[in-house]
Each structure stands twice: as C-alpha cells, then as structure tokens.
C-alpha cells in the first residue's frame, strides 16, 4: 500500500504515467498544454526550432497569447508582434488569443484549463493555472523549446506547503491581502520552489478569479506551483466557460489524500487587515495602517493579479459616486476584453470613468515594464504583482502593492488608506 | 564543450535578492541578448557589464534570480562570459533557466565568505579559496551537469537530433 499522496504528487504521477511518486524523485512528465506569449514565444522559439530542423510536437496543445507588446508602441514592439503573428500562421496554431487580455486570465476564460492537467507556461505567473487544480508552472524560452520539440519536461517532485486559511475575510479584504501577508511572512523565496496548496474555509469561499490571484502570486512566494483542489465553484466556472461535462466528470477526485505528508501553516482570515507592500519588494508587507498618510501620485489597477472582473467590481464599489482626489491619476487596464465587456454591461466601467479613471488596453501594460511605464519620482499604489526597483519605470519610481479595494480607496483620499473606513 | 571545473576565477560580489529585472531590465527586453547584456546589473553596479571578464564568477546573497521567467536574466551573464554564480540560494525558476542556458549555479551556504576580487577554484564538487579553505557546495544532478557541459539545452537537443 502506497503512502497517502498530496494533490501535487498525484498530478505529477499522472503526467509521468506512474501510480505514485515520492518527494524528491526526478521524473519526466507529458505536457498537456503549453502556453507562451509574444515575449517568451515565437520570437525566441522559432529561430531555435528552425536551427534544430524540428517541428512542434502538437500544435493543438499550444496556446499563444499576445499580451506583452500589444498595442505595439514602437518599431521594436511592432517587429516582435509581427514575428509572433507570422509564426502563428506558419505553425498553423489553432489557439491564438491576440490583444484580448493577459495570458493567465484568458487561458481559463477560454476553457483551456481543467483539473488534473499538467501544464507549462512561458511566464513566471503560470502557477495561476493551479487555481483550477492543474499542475502549472513557468519556464524560460529554451526550456519551452524542449517542451515543444519533445512534449515532455522533467520535474523534481516537490514537498507540499499547505496554507490553511480558517474563518472569513472582512468586507474589503481580499485574496491579494492574503497573498501579500503570506509573502511578507515567508519572503520571496519562502516557497523554496515547492508546491503550495491553499485550503480552508476562507479559501474555498473565494470565487475562481480570487483563487487565481492566490495561485498567481505563488510566483512571488518562490513556489513552483500554487494549487487549489477543485470543488463546486471550480466546476461552475468551467461549465460557464463551456467546458463539457464529460471532461469534468472526475474533476473533483483531484484532492490530497487524508494524512498526506505536508508542512501546514494556519491563518485566521477574520484577523486579516488590508495589506500593503512597500517599495521595492512584495515581501515588504505590513498592514495598511503602517502606511497611513503616505501620499500617492498615481493609482494603477492592472495586471493578471489585479484587474480581473472581480477587481474592477471592487474598485467600482469604493469609487461609486465619487471623484479621485485632485492631483491623483487613476489608471485602469482591465485584464481581459471579456472581463471589460462584462464590467461595461454591469455599469462598473462607467463608475470607474466617472470617478476619473483613464482606461488602458487589456494587456500587461506597466506591470511588465516592457512598454510605457511611470515617470521619474512618481509614487504609485498598484494592484499588480511586483514592485522591484526599476521594473515599472525609472529607479526613482516608488511602487506600493495593494488590493484593488485599497488602490481605489487610496485614489479617493490621495494617500494610502484603509478601505474598511469607506464601506 | 564547456569545462566543469575552473580555477583562478575572479569574484564579483553582490547582495541578496538580485532579481531578474536587475539582471535583464524590462526596458531592454525587446532587444537581442547583446544589448540586454550591456545593461545587466547596471542599477546595482553600473560598471559591471563593461568591466567583467570572461571566466569571472558572481558571488551573491540568498534568493538570486527571483522574479520573472525571462531567461535573458541568465542569458545576459552567459553572454558576458560569467563562468558561474555562487549563492546560498537561487530562485527555482532561474535555476532551471540557468542550466538550460549552460550557466553553472553553485549553491553554497558559505558563499558570502568570499570577498570581492578573491580568486576561486571549483573542482567539480566544492569551491576553494586561494588560501586553500573549502567551501562545500550542494550536489548537482548529472543531467544538469551534462547540460552545462553541452553549453545548454539547445546544444544537447542538437546532439540528440544528430545521433538519431
């Protein structure tokens, strides 16, 4: 009889064609889906693939997303976007999502992720897929070359760090606050490239998009994957995006066994305040009160981790009927075109515009720092994932990370504020 | 074929938490590796890219390479001829990228005993300071050492294609 297995072990064992795996084993896995984008994808992969004289192992298992260099603002970006589109045609890729949103958001939105899958992404925030009970992690372009040539990749079976959240979040406190709190506690490499599994009533009470925010920022915890076992909430989301019931019939069997060995950490959601990470690390986190009266010039709601439909709704709930503080610029880059259309239909986008928001395209935008970024000496509060020095603009830019609730509240007052005072 | 050992390698010393955006700044990511490499580490040591010599090694504090999946962070160091990076811990994603590009990473708890300008030797298992004292390194699986020896995964795949 085998020892009880964690969800991570089960997902890896399945992909490796084994009945079970042990922590520390190095195994070769079959990849069910490979995602890459305009920066990590064709412009890097095609020359290497051509040099090898090799072909894609299975174009049906590839999803290409244009989100980093669109809209192309200069000749270099235009060149990269052109190579990406030309290559998509040459390779006859059936799944290309062009300028319609950020990869980690559009991938599940189009029904590409399902519990039980083993996936890789050419982007560090690929652990987002873990919210759907899929083992998904980020890799670089050369390793992606290996995947698209062979359909396989090695992994070392990770330990599981179980983050158990009990209780219930207060109004105005969200998944981003949970995550910033954990990153502050464990540090940016605290995940030690192991698997995290989020669990407990406060996690299972979250919507899919909120769960995606947890899994997404497992990257900032330095974990390889950030898993959440599928439940009714997962199934409902997947049915809504058109995944057929046949494909979902055994989805909820992907759970950690009772008694599977893991390191468990416990958190009380009731006691969690809104969290803010000061420049220049997501690990510089403290409760919002520590930053009271920190004046801001810019409030930015964007990125895969901070501008999904739920994030836009949260910001609108705070901003409804108000204008942002004089001297503060509010920018909103909805994470996908579909989320923006739904927010438009619900009146959420109008609330944001009425409050003074400038609406930007559905791309990675300033979060990636590849195109337009912030000006010298700007102090920004941002719902994005990373506030490294020099990432979102010159080294003089000060970026504070927070939830969309806190970003909106701070935009209203002109300084970092506790949203709970306004709800 | 890259050598798996080195001797008399000159140390460049950095602090903790050197991230991918410092190694390969976003503003230059649209360019090829030769341009990115010119800006490698410039926000912490502006003279690095122009003064580093092929065969030099980096010594850094914990969490080297945290952040993005952009392999240009490792690629820039390879382009500049950096022989190895020595640190107490690395980002897991950066670790994979480095070996895939043929860059040797040595996980060494006592890395910070090494000082700027020291000359170090690596015998395939452990590090030695010029004075002779040993700095033990974590073992590296053979398949990753093969990757370094081949000069990266692309070269390894080429060899495999050629022998098929």
What pLDDT, on a 0 to 100 scale, did the predictor assign at position B1?
54
Cross-chain CB nearest to B27 (options A187, A369, A388): A369
Q: Which residues of A310-347 are buried (b: 16+ CB within 10 A; e: fewer)?
A: bbbbbbbbbbeeeebbeebbbbbbbbbbbbbebbeeee
Cβ atoms of A102 and A303 closer than 8 Å: yes
What pLDDT, on a 0 to 100 scale, did the predictor assign at position A1?
59
Residue B163 has pLDDT above 80, yes or no: no
Question: Distance between CA atoms of A97 and A37, rounded to whole angstroms?
Answer: 9
Which residues in chain B have their CB less than 8 angstroms from residue A368's CB?
26
Per the rule left: phi > 0, alpha: psi between -120 and 50, beta: everything else, A184 is alpha
What pLDDT, on a 0 to 100 scale, did the predictor assign at position B164?
63
Say which residue, A167 or A247, is predicted with more confidence.
A167
Cross-chain CB nearest to B21 (options A53, A154, A390): A390
Q: What is the mean predicted confidence (pLDDT) over B126-150?
A: 92
What pLDDT, on a 0 to 100 scale, did the predictor assign at position A372?
75
The pTM of the full predicted model, rounded to 2 decimals, is 0.97
Q: What is the mean predicted confidence (pLDDT) over A348-361?
A: 98
CB contact under 8 Å between B69 and A40, yes or no, is: yes
Distances (CA, A) of A396 to A153, A280, A393, B6: 40, 11, 8, 39
CB contact under 8 Å between B71 and A154, yes or no, is: no
Cα radius of gyration (chain A): 21
CB contact under 8 Å between B27 and A373, yes or no, is: yes
How many contacts (CB atoms, under 8 Å) link A and B? 115
The answer to whether the complex's ipTM is over 0.85 is: yes
Q: What is the mean predicted confidence (pLDDT) over A48-54?
A: 96
Reading the block at residue A36, the tokens are 């890459």
Which residues in chain A have their CB less than 8 angstroms from residue B62's CB?
189
CB contact under 8 Å between B89 and A145, yes or no, is: no
Per the rule left: phi > 0, alpha: psi between -120 and 50, beta: everything else, B39 is alpha
Q: What is the mean predicted confidence (pLDDT) over A83-92?
A: 98
What pLDDT, on a 0 to 100 scale, did the predictor assign at position A327?
94
Interface test with B, best of A189, A195, A223, A283 (most B CBs within 10 A): A189
Q: Which residues of A382-411 are buried (b: 16+ CB within 10 A; e: fewer)?
A: bbbbbbbbbbbbeeebbbbbbbbbbbbbbb
* Average pLDDT across chain A, whole number: 97
* Alpha-helix residue ranges (DSSP H) falling in A74-115: 75-90, 103-109
Confidence of residue A332 (pLDDT cuts 50, 70, 90): very high
Confidence of residue B160 (pLDDT cuts 50, 70, 90): confident
Helix A208-216 / helix A309-319 crossing angle, nearest 10 deg: 110
Question: Distance between CA atoms of B67 and A378, rounded to whole angstroms?
Answer: 22
Q: What is the DSSP letter of A295?
A: B
- How do residues A399-416 score in pLDDT, each as one tens digit? 999 999 999 999 999 999
Q: Which residues of B touch A (CB under 8 A)?
A: 17, 19, 21-22, 25-27, 29-31, 43, 62-63, 66-71, 74, 89, 91-93, 95-97, 100-101, 141, 143, 152-154, 157-158, 161
User: Which one, of A116, A120, A129, lies nearest residue A153 by Cα?
Assistant: A120
Question: Distance between CA atoms of A81 and A72, rounded to whole angstroms?
Answer: 7
A49 CB-contact burial (10 Å; exposed 0-12 / middle 13-18 / buried 19+): buried
Which residues in chain B have their CB less than 8 angstroms from residue A77's CB?
30
Question: Distance between CA atoms of A161 and B122, rounded to whole angstroms?
Answer: 34
Question: Distance between CA atoms of B86 and A72, rounded to whole angstroms?
Answer: 38
Reading the block at residue A409, the tokens are 């509240």
């Amino acid at each position: 009889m085998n020892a009880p297995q964690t969800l991570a072990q089960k997902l890896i064992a399945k992909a490796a064609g084994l009945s079970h795996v042990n922590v520390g084993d190095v195994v070769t896995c079959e990849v069910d889906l490979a995602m890459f984008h305009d920066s990590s994808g064709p412009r890097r992969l095609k020359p290497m693939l051509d040099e090898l004289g090799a072909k894609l192992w299975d174009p049906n298992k590839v999803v290409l997303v244009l989100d980093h260099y669109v809209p192309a603002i200069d000749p270099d970006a235009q060149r990269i976007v052109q190579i990406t589109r030309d290559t998509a045609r040459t390779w006859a890729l059936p799944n290309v999502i062009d300028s319609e949103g950020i990869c980690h958001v559009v991938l599940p939105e189009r029904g590409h992720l399902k519990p039980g899958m083993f996936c890789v992404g050419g982007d560090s925030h690929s652990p987002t897929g873990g919210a759907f009970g899929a083992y998904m992690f980020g890799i670089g372009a050369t390793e992606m070359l290996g995947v698209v040539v062979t359909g396989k990749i090695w992994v070392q079976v990770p330990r599981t760090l179980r983050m158990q959240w009990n209780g219930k979040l207060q109004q105005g406190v969200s998944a981003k606050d949970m995550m910033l709190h954990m990153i502050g506690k464990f540090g940016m490499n605290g995940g030690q490239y192991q698997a995290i599994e989020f669990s407990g009533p406060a996690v299972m009470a979250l919507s899919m998009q909120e769960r995606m925010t947890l899994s997404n920022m497992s990257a900032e915890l330095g974990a390889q994957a950030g898993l959440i076992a599928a439940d009714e909430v997962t199934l409902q989301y997947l049915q809504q995006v058109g995944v057929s019931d046949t494909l979902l019939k055994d989805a909820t069997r992907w759970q950690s066994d009772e008694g599977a060995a893991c390191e468990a950490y416990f958190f009380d959601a009731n006691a969690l305040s809104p969290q803010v990470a000061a420049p220049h690390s997501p690990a510089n986190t403290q409760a919002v009160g520590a930053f009271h009266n920190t004046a801001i010039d810019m409030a930015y709601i964007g990125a895969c981790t901070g501008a999904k439909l739920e994030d836009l709704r949260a910001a609108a709930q705070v901003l409804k009927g108000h204008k942002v503080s004089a001297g503060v610029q509010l920018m909103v880059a909805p994470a996908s075109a579909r989320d923006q259309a739904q927010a438009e239909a619900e009146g959420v986008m109008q609330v944001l515009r009425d409050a003074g928001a400038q609406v930007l395209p559905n791309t990675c935008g300033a979060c990636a720092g590849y195109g337009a970024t912030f000006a010298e000496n700007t102090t920004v509060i941002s719902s994005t994932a990373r506030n490294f020095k020099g990432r979102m603009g010159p080294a003089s830019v000060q970026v504070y990370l927070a939830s969309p609730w806190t970003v909106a509240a701070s935009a209203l007052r002109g300084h970092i504020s506790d949203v709970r005072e306004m709800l | 074929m890259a050598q798996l050992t080195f001797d008399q390698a000159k140390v460049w010393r950095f602090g903790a938490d050197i991230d991918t955006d410092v190694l390969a700044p976003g503003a230059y990511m649209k360019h090829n590796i030769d341009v990115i490499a010119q800006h490698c580490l410039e926000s912490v040591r502006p003279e690095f890219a122009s003064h580093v010599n092929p065969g030099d090694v980096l010594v850094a504090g914990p969490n080297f390479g945290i952040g993005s999946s952009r392999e240009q962070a490792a690629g820039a160091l390879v382009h500049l001829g950096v022989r190895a990076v020595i640190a107490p811990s690395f980002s897991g994603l950066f670790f994979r990228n480095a070996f895939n590009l043929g860059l040797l990473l040595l996980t060494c708890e006592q890395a910070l005993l090494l000082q700027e300008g020291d000359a170090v030797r690596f015998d395939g298992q452990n590090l030695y300071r010029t004075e002779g004292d040993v700095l033990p390194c974590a073992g590296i699986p053979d398949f990753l050492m093969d990757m370094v020896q081949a000069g990266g995964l692309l070269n390894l795949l080429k060899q495999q294609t050629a022998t098929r």
